[in-house]
């Protein structure tokens, strides 16, 4: 069944308000490399962006999430995460009644990126 983009989130707190379970599945899949920040706000985001720019943030942080749907509703979400050294994309998709995660990308962050 074809998917279509429903919404793209750039604010972690807005994504978590609607898709907390998806985020928890992704975090468990990454085994501690990323944790959803339920207290994220604009000030924290600016601070994290500054730390990323200075190459001082080792922990993966939320960059964005694309949510997809099909004729039956939610079908998957793709989360973009990054640290000073890594860029990771994780997809959480609906398989029957379950949510399953898989890694789409895990690569070194380019210097200066």
Residue 8 lies in a domain: yes
Beta-bridged to residue 58, according to DSSP, are none
Indicate whether 113 pLDDT > 60.
Answer: no
Instruction: Give the confidence band of 1 by pLDDT, cuts at 50, 70, 90.
Output: confident
Residue 113 lies in a domain: no
Radius of gyration (C-alpha) of the chain in whole angstroms: 14
- What confidence tens digit (pLDDT) does each residue in 7-20 have? 999 999 999 999 99
- Per the structure, the count of domains in the chain is 1
Structural domain that includes position 55: 4-108
Q: Which of 71, 66, 67, 78 is nearest to 102 (CA)?
A: 78
Beta-bridged to residue 86, according to DSSP, are 108
């Amino acid at each position: 069944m074809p998917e279509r983009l429903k919404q793209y989130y750039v604010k972690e707190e807005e994504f978590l308000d609607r898709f907390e379970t998806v985020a928890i599945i992704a975090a468990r899949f990454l085994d501690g490399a990323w944790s959803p920040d339920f207290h994220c706000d604009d000030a924290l985001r600016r601070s994290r962006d500054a730390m990323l720019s200075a190459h001082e943030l080792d922990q993966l942080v939320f960059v964005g999430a694309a949510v997809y749907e099909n004729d039956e509703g939610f079908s998957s979400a793709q989360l973009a995460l990054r640290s000073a050294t890594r860029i990771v994309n994780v997809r959480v998709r609906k398989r029957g009644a379950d949510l399953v995660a898989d890694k789409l990308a895990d690569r070194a962050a380019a210097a200066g990126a």
